[in-house]
Structure 1
Amino acid sequence: MAGSGSKPIPRVQALGPVRAIGALVRTMRPRQWVKNVFVFAPLVFDEKLLQPLPLARTILGFLILCLLSGAVYVFNDLQDLEKDRQHPRKRRRPLPAGELDPRVAWGAAFVLPAALAYPAFALDPFFALIAYVYWGLNLAYSLWLKHRVILDVLTLASGYVLRVAAGVPLVRVERFSPWLYLCTLLLALFIGFAKRRQEILLLGENARNHRAILEEYTVRFLDEMMGVVMAATIVAYSLYTFSAPNLPSNHAMMLTIPFVLYGVFRYLYLIHVRGETAPPDELVLRDRPLLLTVILWGMAAIAILYLF
């Protein structure tokens, strides 16, 4: 029975197989799988996007990472089940809403990674090693690291770098610049700090009840950290555009810097002036100018790499 003043715990609904599978898939958060596109970075920036074999191997690696990350989301929701029931948005997820049986979720959280082990190693042993380091790191995050200030955001950022690293053995890279690892890390740190900021603003006084680590952060501190990280991102990306060995010798990649600048300034405008509280990965899909900027940057970078 729920305690005094608390909301009743939803009963697990008796769903048919099709609806139960649908609830499990939603718990795996397919909308978040777009983050795994970072595995394509070595393919694109090593100029092998048009080669069928590296492209096929990277697509398979992307699918494996999507399923592994889905298993991580299921495990994370199981760990946060009680707190998610108090969250204004997360309480609608299948587990806290009672649409998915926790026993089914526990099975999927570990059976799925076990089933993916053979395909991952068959694709490439080094890819499999990095993919399962990513999986293990995320389990450690759910159990311990998310309760450690700053380490929680660094762990999330490391996940993005591991996605990029996972793509390297799939394409047998020859000219992939290490600058892209640094740019990925800095961008991911920005996303992590921005998410913490969003949670504090959205949850208000109940922030600590949902996630204890939020007590260690303030909006002002996060704004300062985001400023530092974004300045470093702009500098690192600018250095990459004229110092990476695989880029055109005429430094045409520097033409993409304005897209990065506008994207940064547009996001800061949205959160500081427009008061947006959506996470960056959701906001980029909702705000048309920001989404258009990302698309134009990608098109410009590919054109410069493959046509110059």
Structure 2
Amino acid sequence: MNTVPQTKSSVASANVFVLLLKQLRPKQWTKNLLIFAAPLFSITQISKMELSKSVIAFFLFSFISGCVYILNDYVDREADRLHPEKKHRPMASGALNPQFAIIFGVLLLSFSLVVGYMLNPLFALVLLVYFVLNVSYSLRLKHIVILDVMIIAAGFVLRAIAGGLSIDVPFTPWFLLCILWLSLFLAISKRRHEVQLMQAKETKGTTRKVLHSYSVDLLNQLNTIVTTATIICYAMFTSVSGHTHLMWTVPFVVYGIFRYLYLVHIENKGGTPEKVLLTDRHVLVTVVLYAVSTMTILSYFD
């Protein structure tokens, strides 16, 4: 007699778990793989324990970004219900109780900061800065031209810094500059795709106001600047990092950037960098070859 209610209860709990996981947007977690940049370049200096700390840091950063999505969707749930795609999000669709989601978000944020503090107090501070910065971006800063793409890039730099702090390894300014320029490249390419899509569909009344402040020509010029800076900074990084053999990985960086530019300008992609990474075979293979060659060089040649 009591088995039916228990079954229904367990099914309901499973559904809530799935909805909460969906709310955290795990597909976006690929951005947090940048946490492993510092361990990659310190592969010969870190232990298995430190590598496990990097894995923990990856999930903590993913949880923090998920908390931002929860707050963002909570604030925008009414507007999302009118959007053709966003209306299917857990809160906008009514499948997930907004108040319950907020409570879960507060608990997850607290848990992540506490565990992050146990890992490294400075790492916890970076988590907090990232959360505040992204909440500010969602509520106000995303509407300010130029500053919006710089905030996105700053988020990636914070990921790279967090990766180093989680295992207590130093990072050079050149390394952080590489991350900054590459992040700006991805952010600008994303804006270019959005502006081009807006112009093609003539949906000026239904898009974000900041897009009206951009033009494809302006974004092309900005991308020219940041792609040049990225390649120069990476070449400088390999020459001053103490691992000169890393110069052999420069062609992978150049090809990856050129391939992405091809996708942006010829195939009109670039709106979702994480999707490009997982779906474009050339970009994915380049990233894998770069990672393997870097680990090989650091392990056997330096």
Task: Note whether the superposition's TM-score is higher than 0.5.
Answer: yes
What residue in structure 2 maps to residue 275 of structure 1? 268
What residue in structure 2 maps to residue 291 of structure 1? 284
Match of 1:215 among 206, 212, 215: 212
Q: Which moved more, 1:127-136 or 1:73-82?
A: 73-82
The CA deviation at 1:50 is: 5.2
What residue in structure 2 maps to residue 186 of structure 1? 181
Supply the distance in 2 between the matched residues of 1:108 and 1:49 (Cα, whole angstroms): 38
What residue in structure 2 maps to residue 75 of structure 1? 71
Contact 2:116/2:123 (CA < 8 Å) preserved in 1? Answer: yes
Alignment pair present for 1:64 and 2:60: yes
Alignment pair present for 1:259 and 2:243: no
Supply the distance in 1 between the matched residues of 2:270 and 2:82 (Cα, whole angstroms): 18
Deviations 1:119-159 (A, max 9, x none): 11111111111111111111111111111111111111111
Identify if the C-alpha distance between structure 1 residues 295 and 87 changes in structure 2 by more than 3 Å, giving closer, same or farther.
farther
AA in 2 matched with 1:258:
P
Deviations 1:147-195 (A, max 9, x none): 1111111111111111111122222215x32211001011111111122
Supply the distance in 1 between the matched residues of 2:41 and 2:205 (Cα, whole angstroms): 42
1:138-157 pair list within 5 angstroms: 138-157=134-153
Listed as ranges, the gaps of 5+ residues in structure 2 are 1-10
AA in 2 matched with 1:243:
V
AA in 2 matched with 1:238:
A
Q: Percent identity?
A: 38
Contact 1:161/1:184 (CA < 8 Å) preserved in 2? Answer: yes
Supply the distance in 1 between the matched residues of 2:101 and 2:202 (Cα, whole angstroms): 31
Q: Secondary structure at the match of 1:295?
A: helix
1:188-203 pair list within 5 angstroms: 188-203=183-198
Contact 2:189/2:264 (CA < 8 Å) preserved in 1? Answer: no
Contact 2:189/2:271 (CA < 8 Å) preserved in 1? Answer: no
Match of 2:13 among 14, 17, 34: 17
The CA deviation at 1:235 is: 0.9
Q: Secondary structure at the match of 1:274?
A: coil
Deviations 1:41-99 (A, max 9, x none): 22221235751121121111111111111111121222333443454443332233333
AA in 1 matched with 2:180:
L
AA in 2 matched with 1:191:
L
Supply the distance in 2 between the matched residues of 1:256 and 1:208 (Cα, whole angstroms): 45
Contact 1:36/1:65 (CA < 8 Å) preserved in 2? Answer: yes
AA in 2 matched with 1:185:
L
The CA deviation at 1:288 is: 0.5
AA in 2 matched with 1:69:
S
Supply the distance in 1 between the matched residues of 2:84 and 2:280 (Cα, whole angstroms): 22
Listed as ranges, the gaps of 5+ residues in structure 1 are 1-14
Alignment pair present for 1:305 and 2:301: no
Q: Secondary structure at the match of 1:149?
A: coil
Contact 2:23/2:70 (CA < 8 Å) preserved in 1? Answer: yes
AA in 2 matched with 1:43:
P
